[in-house]
Each structure stands twice: as structure tokens, then as C-alpha cells.
């Protein structure tokens, strides 16, 4: 186990009460604890804060729990943020429903252009279907291949297809992973990402 893993495991075992930095110094003498804690703090895995007259260490999640238990202002702030999140979820679902209803109305008025109309939801369904048929053992599939399969279903230009892929990956970032390479794809941070897989 690395020094970071050892320290993190010890901090985790202390729970939301945290562990004194001085107790960690007594236990871990075989490496530079200050340097290890700096790495963990910089990576957002550990928080160090003063409690009483001593410095204590928590994991990020346990520190939030600690603050929620001891700081009424923090607790009120968290409750307000959660309330705002619920309101935003309600409104965004309403907007999504309105857009989907509008698309359905447009389809009813224009039956000949049904293949041309695509929203993120029905694009995701077809996109996932193509990914599930990937015969690669590690799951990666060329985005150009996905585009050629979906162009039979939807009338999308190349730029429209990649715009939808970018929206899809941003909206469902826990479900997809992009990789650099390929001949065509999405440009992220100046690099061409031409491969995709479901996570």
C-alpha cells in the first residue's frame, strides 16, 4: 500500500469525528506525513482543519458530514442548496417535456420528416443500441462507425451528429467514455476523440 492509501485508510476509519494530525504523526513515522497529506489535500481527498486547539483530518465526504453536525449555518446552507436543486430538477423536467411535446407536434404536422427530427432522448436510445452491439472485447467503438449506422435512422449531418454526441456525453458523463484517436469525432481540449464506449 502507498503512503497515501495508508493515511487515507486511517483517516476513513476515524469517521466524521476526524483524526488528530498529531496522532497520524505518531503512527506514520516511516515517511513524510506532511508531504503525503499535502498530496491528499491537493487531490481533494482529505481536508485538514482546526478543531479546538488541534488540527484534525477528514476525508472530503466525512468533513462535510462533520460540518453538517457542528455548524448550523453550514447545515442551513446545505438545506437551501438541496431545495434549489429540487426546484431546478422540476423546472428542467418541465422544459424537457415541453420540448418533446413540441417535437411530437412537429412530427404530426410533417409526417415525411420523421427521420429528420431527433432529440437527445431518442438519439441516446439508438446510440446505446449501437454501442451494445459492439464486438470489441474492451467495448471501444469507432464514432465514425456509430455515425454511419445512425445516419440510416436519422437524417443528420456530420456536424449535427457530433454535436449530439457531445451533448450526450456531457449530459450522461457517468455512462460514456471518449478516447483520443480515430479519423473523425468530437474535439475536446484540442484533441480528436474518435472512440467511445459505455461505462
pLDDT tens digits, 118-163: 788 888 988 998 888 876 667 788 999 899 888 878 888 888 899 9
Instruction: Determine phi and psi for 58, rounding to 5 degrees.
Output: -135, 160
Alpha carbon distance 113, 155 (integer Å)? 9
CA distances, 12 to each of 6, 80, 118, 198 (Å): 10, 28, 47, 31
- Segments making up each domain of the chain, as ranges: 3-70, 72-112, 118-199
Q: How confident is the model at residue 108 (pLDDT cuts 50, 70, 90)?
A: low
Please report which residue ranges of 14-157 form alpha helices under DSSP H. 21-27, 33-42, 60-70, 72-109, 120-132, 143-150
pLDDT at position 112: 47
Domains 3-70 and 118-199 belong to one CATH topology = yes
Angle between helix 143-150 and helix 120-132 axes, rounded to 10 deg = 120
**Could you say which architecture CATH assigns to the domain 3-70?**
Orthogonal Bundle (1.10)
Q: Domain 118-199, what architecture?
A: Orthogonal Bundle (1.10)
Amino acid at each position: 500500500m502507498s503512503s497515501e492509501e495508508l493515511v487515507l485508510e486511517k483517516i476513513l476509519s476515524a469517521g466524521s469525528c476526524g483524526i488528530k494530525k498529531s496522532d497520524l504523526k505518531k503512527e506514520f513515522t516511516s515517511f513524510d506525513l506532511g508531504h503525503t497529506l499535502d498530496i491528499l489535500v491537493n487531490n481533494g481527498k482529505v481536508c485538514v482543519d482546526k478543531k479546538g486547539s488541534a488540527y484534525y483530518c477528514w476525508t472530503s465526504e466525512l468533513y462535510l458530514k462533520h460540518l453538517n453536525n457542528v455548524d448550523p449555518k453550514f447545515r442551513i446552507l446545505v438545506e437551501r442548496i438541496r431545495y434549489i436543486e429540487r426546484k431546478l430538477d422540476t423546472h428542467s423536467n418541465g422544459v424537457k417535456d415541453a420540448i418533446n411535446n413540441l417535437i411530437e407536434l412537429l412530427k404530426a404536422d410533417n409526417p415525411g420528416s420523421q427521420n429528420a427530427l431527433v432529440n437527445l432522448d431518442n438519439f441516446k436510445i439508438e446510440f446505446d443500441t449501437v454501442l451494445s452491439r459492439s464486438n470489441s472485447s474492451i467495448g471501444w467503438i469507432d464514432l465514425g462507425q456509430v455515425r454511419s449506422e445512425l445516419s440510416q435512422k436519422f437524417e443528420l449531418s456530420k456536424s449535427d451528429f457530433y454535436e449530439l454526441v457531445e451533448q450526450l456525453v456531457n449530459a450522461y458523463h457517468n455512462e460514456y467514455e471518449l478516447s483520443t484517436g480515430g479519423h473523425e469525432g468530437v474535439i475536446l481540449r484540442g484533441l480528436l476523440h474518435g472512440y467511445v464506449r459505455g461505462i
